[in-house]
Structure 1
Amino acid sequence: MRTYFENPLSEGPERLRLHFGAVDWACEIWINDVAVGSHTGGFDPFYIDITDALTSDSSQKLVIAITDPTDTGTQPLGKQTLTPFAIQYTAVAGIWQTVWLEPVPHSCIERVYTETAITAGTVTVNCDLSNAKSGTQVNVCAFDGETLMSQGSELVVDDSVSVPLYFDDLHLWCPSDPFLYDLVIELTDANGNVLDRADSYCGAREVSCEPDDAGHMRLYLNGSPIFHLGLLDQGWWPDGLLTAPTDEALKFDIEATLKMGFNTIRKHVKVEPARWYWHADRLGVLVWQDMPSTVFNMVEFGKQLKEGTKPEEMEWESISPGKDPEGFRSELDAMLHALQLFPSIVVWVPFNEAWGQHDTNGTLTHVMRSDPTRLVDGPSGWTDMGLGHMRDHHLYQDAEQLPEAESGRATVYGEFGGISLYIDGHSMFEKGWGYTKTESVEDFLTSYEELLAAIGSLIPEGLAGAIYTQTTDVESEINGLLTYDREYKARPEKIRSIHERIL
């Protein structure tokens, strides 16, 4: 791809960065025929400093070459395949998120993320910096609207700093009250001159996995147990596949989820643009964030299933081997790094079922050490290895039979339901696919209410969370609560009333 842009820099020491929200999968970039950088990874943001390749001309040439092996490769790709069928969808390749230019000072703020300590009444603001000199200081102010609530300053050591903010009455973030503090962060030199300034925000919250009064392990938010009732959200679109058509569309799925009475979204083997998580933060929804999985051989899986082999007993090396553990770890770390800011994310899900699952406990331990402020589900469904905060079951049949609890781990249903309903004029195919079938809205509501009644009865027995499959239809899958073009199959207030009566 080739395009042209104008150089926004004026005379001075600023540098120019070229940002990409995400490119699937590998790319090489040239500015004015000078190679400036490359990147691999289809779901993480990156930038390249292009300053030294700029010319004095008003017009600058950008060329980017992209390659994507899709499911012929070993890289994380989520649900993409060159042969779409059932639970695998049309492949994506190329630039699928926003591209922009950013002038930055030589010494600048790179990244901000926070940690909350409710008992101490503090929020620690962690900043990663570039080219910070001796005597450089970071100053942070936290606001509620126009009111200054706290401020703090710390000297920079080795291009990073942690600034604790103390609050007299810390306003916590939760789904029913998704309060966000506005942050103003300044990087100053030894003389007090402002070198860089960034606006950000934070949601003060703590998550944990603890026993309740009856001894059942529960998912806690801010010191209280909260049942996670959520939707499996694929984040696919009929026109843009991975890319939502508008910002209104991007936030619609979150708003619809909340309108139907859910409090959780499991973002399934896909990473969204940063703006989606901002919407989740401000609207108030709990997010389980999956790591995109590697290649999954649907034909081989179907063959073993037809032979009567249970998923947890299959030969997964022939179905979905993790052939590039170093590449997987690199993209996993990039996801953790990029999304650490967002308070709505409360659970990391490194593996979905056995799709590319490898070095399971080593990977889960790595994630828990990398981010101790969140829970780790490991893995979601099927081939559990005994580690992780949650023991996650995928039960599309016999969901009313609660599996035996494991000591020290919360019992959750990472997937259940999947009731299909075909809506004429709103499906890609005349025949769709789902785990169970209904023929009318009335039949669907009856089946859904019976299923949710069973789920509700398991909560006192120890069930800590349940994720229904799924938010929307996707291509040949018709088990969404919404159609692929985002029409409600049943009135959202009806779905909400079922939840309120049962849960």
Structure 2
Amino acid sequence: MARNDGTPSASGDARWWTPAGQRLKTRWARCIDPAAPLSEYPRPQLARARWASLNGTWNYAITKRDALYPGTADGKILVPFPAESSLSGVMRRVGPESSLWYQRTFAIPEDWEGNGQRIMLNFGAVDWEATVFVNDHELGTHRGGFTPFAFDVTDHLAHDRDNSLAVRVRDPTNTGLIARGKQSLKPGGIFYTAVTGIWQPAWIEPVPEPRIDRLVIRPDIDTDTVSVRVLIARASGPVTGPTRNATVHVDVLDGKAIVSSATPDDATRDIVLPVPRARRWSPASPFLYGLRVRLGNEGDASDDVHSYFGMRKIELRPASTGGTRENQAPRILLNGEPVFQLGVLDQGYWPDGLFTAPADEALAFDIEAARSMGFNMLRKHAKVEPDRWYYHCDRLGMLVWQDMPSLLSFKHYGLEILHALVKKEYRVKGALLDATGTIDLRQAFLDELDHVVMALENHPSIVAWVPFNEGWGEECFDVRAVVDRLRNLDPTRLVDNASGWYDKGVGDVRDVHAYPGPGMADIETGRAAVNGEFGGLGFNVPGHTWHPRGGWGYRVMKSKSALESRYKALVEKLETLKQQGLVASVYTQLSDVEAEVNGLLTYDREVFKIDAPVLANLHRKCLD
């Protein structure tokens, strides 16, 4: 548990904890406080002063899929590390045939109760299906392993004793057609260890009735204004009309100084505030404005949240005439200026925590490492990170192309999907249902896509959405409709309809993969040319690999000098492609991951295989 300001205190006896297994660890594993792991406030884009972390020691049990919670636990688990990870203290496979149960108790601070306060229970992400119980009352079920969710627990709390909290998790992983990214029950090659359960922070917080539920922040550098939509909710659901006896007050902040303020008559409409002489956000100058939003309820407690935004604009400039071939090709503009986006593929896996970074410092380390190598963009590949990862990208100035975690299952739909891969225009039609026949898996993917966008849309670092990668699940959808869906949800960013393989001729870019590459498609008039993956040069560093005998890469180098020489040749070719109209590239990859040793960093993040200053110098011409 934690005190009112979120400062962690023990959630049980933490002396039991030690990382499970003897496999590769990061330096941060040695510094984990099991009483308070990942204790930073989890949601910087909608921050409240009072909150209590539920990270730490929980009881766990793995049962048959349909079994009830057992009378005794199998042991202790350290939340928020997934059950298969070393840092959970468990490191056990769960699998689709089982349920993973979590249980703990919590108390509500006395000053949180009364005065119309409600208590919200929040989860950053649970993979895949989570059913939540408080004091044996079932609150509901959330499906989707990459999106946040919350329950109002107020009406089910005990006031004279501690409260019992239980979570049942089921996860089909690659036995079902769900968004899973690179997870596999049989990891190897480009697929990695599956994760199950709570893998992002859990916390509780007091909120007034009504409360601020979400913010939609849209900066406009053309008018030096910012539009803020305040979505308000009650325990009974969202508020869609004017709120009686309630007002919203919004402040734009430069540090502690108020830049502009507004108190509109109708809190449910977009609020437009001036940002005089607005400072632009960019990788070179990632300036962030603060935002404070207060919801005043006459006679009751008021809600008070803090957020932030960056004044930036990303857009596609179609092909033009005149000038060099590079200038004639469609260009991606940041704040009205062409910027070559030199990216690196980031899988977001850790040897000790798998999906979950061992520390907030570790999240920031990867971004800072990429910057030190001279990259200005990360392609977050087949995974959605905790909100704090994007916060670090925002404050450090790292552009992000955000993948939707892919879905693909040869087991259930093998022949149809194989046909789809061979016949490029073939599409799997009709219903795609889960094993029970009750869940529409196509709609579940689209719903999760919507929720990913809504959860991340305020981060200035994110400049492009990538719904599909290399045909994985693409054949199950009308790709044009998915692109239109993304543009309707978020008209402020670019859409890459498919990174690699089967382009459907829609979206803002034509993205090809080339190994070792680099490569590009022919220049089009209305879409920019992107090399979404290339490279993959492998190099084993003894003592820093997942497997004792090393791993594989698309091309395995025998020495550091050979790696550096081959990488230099790739960059020289990249410079030529840039002159021919290429606007963005993504090298595979930032770090080794399990069997893959094609990272620029080792899996434990201890060794830069090519020195960062050398890489930064090689990249300089691409960025000029």
TM tier, shorter chain?
over 0.9
Which of 217, 242, 252 does residue 355 from structure 2 map onto? 242
1:153 Cα deviation after fit? 2.4
Q: For 1:352, which of 447, 452, 469 is the aligned residue?
A: 469
Q: Who is 1:41 aligned against?
A: 144
Of stretches 17-26 and 181-190 in structure 1, the one that deviates more from structure 2 is: 181-190
Q: Would the alpha carbon gap of residues 30 and 232 (structure 1) be closer, same or farther in structure 2, given more than 3 Å must change?
A: same
Give the aligned residue type for 1:361.
R
The structure-2 alpha-carbon separation of the partners of 1:69 and 1:468, relative to structure 1 and needing over 3 Å to count, comes to same
Aligned equivalent of 1:204, options 301, 305, 311:
311
Q: Select the residue among 262, 266, 269 that pairs with 1:156.
A: 266
Q: How much has 1:407 moved relative to structure 2?
A: 2.4
CA-CA distance at 1:144 after TM superposition: 1.2
Residues 1:262 and 2:362 aligned together: no
Alignment of 1:8-407 (within 5 A): 8=109, 9-131=112-234, 133-156=243-266, 160-189=268-297, 195-211=302-318, 214-295=327-408, 297=410, 324-357=441-474, 358-400=477-519, 402-407=520-525
Pairwise CA distance, 1:315: 9.8
Which segment drifts farther, 10-19 or 280-289?
10-19
Equivalent residues of 1:155, 1:161 under 8 A apart: no
* CA distance in structure 1 between the aligned counterparts of 2:390 and 2:558, rounded to whole angstroms: 35
Give, as a single letter, the amino acid of the residue that structure 2 aligns with 1:6.
A
Give the whole-Å Cα distance in 1 for the aligned partners of 2:167 and 2:246.
37
Instruction: Please state how far the C-alpha of 1:310 moved relative to its aligned partner.
Output: 12
Q: CA deviation at 1:437?
A: 1.6
Residue by residue over 1:402-445, the C-alpha shift from the partner in whole angstroms, topping out at 9 and shown as x without a partner, is: 42122200000111111111111111121411111211110001
After superposition, give the CA deviation of every residue in 1:330-387 in whole Å (9 maximum; x if it has no partner).
1101101110111100100011110011211111110011100111011111111110
Q: Which residue of 2 aligns with 1:425?
A: 543
What's the Cα RMSD here? 2.3
Please name the residue that 1:482 is paired with. Answer: 601
Q: Secondary structure at the match of 2:180?
A: coil
Question: Deviations along 1:128-187, whole A, 9 cap, x unmatched?
Answer: 111462253221111111222122222335xx3321111220111000000000111111
Partner secondary structure for residue 497 of structure 2: strand
Q: Deviations over 1:444-475 (max 9, x none)?
A: 01000100110111112110100000000000
- State the partner residue of 1:414: 532
CA distance, structure 1, for counterparts of residue 248 and residue 280 of structure 2: 24
Structure 1 residues 78-122: Cα deviation after superposition (integer angstroms, max 9, x where no partner): 000001010000010000010001111011111123112222111
* Structure 2: distance between partners of 1:314 and 1:296: 18
**How many Å separate the matches in 2 of 1:135 and 1:46?**
28
The 3-state SS of whatever aligns with 2:328 is coil
Q: Which runs of 5+ in 2 are unaligned?
A: 1-101, 434-440
Counterpart Cα distance in 2 of 1:116 and 1:50: 35
User: How many aligned residue pairs are there?
Assistant: 491
Aligned residue for 1:155, secondary structure, equals coil
Aligned partners of 1:113, 1:466: CA distance in 2, in Å? 30
AA partner of residue 461 (structure 2): S
Change in Cα spacing, 1:426 to 1:317, as seen in structure 2 (3 Å) is: farther
Name the residue aligned to 2:23. Answer: none
After superposition, the C-alpha distances for 1:282-303 in whole angstroms (9 at most, x for unaligned) are 00010000000112549x99xx
Residues 285 and 476 of structure 1, relative CA distance in 2, 3 Å threshold: same
Q: Secondary structure at the match of 1:379?
A: coil
Equivalent residue for 2:563? 444
Query: Whole-Å Cα distance in 1 between the matches of residues 342 and 432 of structure 2?
Result: 31
Instruction: Report how far residue 502 of structure 1 moved.
Output: 5.0
C-alpha separation in 2, matches of 1:449 and 1:316: 40
Asked if 1 retains the 8 angstrom alpha-carbon contact of 2:252 and 2:292, the reply is yes
Greater CA drift, 279-288 or 50-59? 50-59
What's the TM-score once normalised by structure 1's chain length?
Answer: 0.93
- Percentage identity across paired residues of the two chains: 43
Q: 1:450 to 1:101 in 2, by over 3 A?
A: same
Change (3 A) 1:457 1:374: same
Q: Distance in 2 between matches of 1:108 and 1:201?
A: 19
1:312 to 1:416, Cα distance in 2 relative to 1, 3 A: farther
Which piece of structure 1 moves more, 39-48 or 57-66?
A: 57-66
Q: Is the 8 A contact 2:219 2:309 kept in 1?
A: no
Contact 2:420 2:427 in 1 (8 A): no
The 8 Å contact of residues 578 and 622 in structure 2, kept in 1 or not, is answered as no
How far did residue 61 of structure 1 move?
A: 0.6
**Aligned AA (1:141):** D
